[in-house]
Amino acid sequence: MANAKVIQAKQEAVDVVTAKLRESATTVVADYRGLNVSQVTELRKQLREAGVEFQVLKNTLVRRATAAAELTELDEVLAGPTAIAFSATDAVAPAKILSDFAKKNEALEIKGGVVEGRVVGVDQIKALADLPSREGLLSMLLSVLQAPVRNLALAVKAVAEKEEGSASA
């Protein structure tokens, strides 16, 4: 009986990871070997503040989840201690935080990941990390949208000032 319960618990864990792989906007796989407890705690804190879930998982469990999620290309990077960052909402956050942390702490190694349902390598994760944050992209968009209105307002103001100048002369 205990064996059946253990198998059921493991299957539930696989199902949870499978769902996270399918639902995440971005999933980043990293090797955390060599980080001390305070470094891992700091990394977890940064990820938690950004709404990113960070877990250390057994490779066999993740391999079963990748098979269920049809992402078996990810199995190539599942060697050694594996930590996975899942973000359901912000596609850039896990890549940016882990990449920045890896620059300061050489022990953290990004192995690859999944972006919008596609398995990607380290280069694509780093390219994603170089993108501005969601807030940065929104502010750029807002600036672009405001430019025509601002230019129109300046033109109207210049015409009004010119007419005031010619009326008083």
57 pLDDT above the threshold of 60:
yes
pLDDT tens for each residue of 116-155: 888 888 888 888 888 766 677 778 788 888 888 888 888 8
Angle at 103 between CA 37 and CA 138, to 5 degrees: 105
pLDDT tens for each residue of 2-46: 688 888 888 888 888 888 888 888 889 888 888 889 888 898 999
pTM check: above 0.85: no
**Order of strands across the sheet that contains 53-57:** 53-57, 82-87, 26-31, 109-115, 118-120
Neighbours of 87 (CB within 10 A): 23
pLDDT tens for each residue of 149-162: 888 888 888 888 88
pLDDT tens for each residue of 97-114: 888 888 888 888 888 888
What are the two backbone dihedrals, phi and then psi, of residue 103, each rounded to the nearest 5 degrees? -65, -35
Distance CA 83, CA 35 (A): 12
Cα–Cα distances in angstroms (integers) from residue 23 to residues 18, 102, 116, 118, in the given order: 9, 25, 9, 12
pLDDT tens for each residue of 39-48: 888 989 998 9
Tokens of 134: 């969601």
* Residues recorded for the chain: 169
Closest CA to 69 of 18, 10, 12: 18
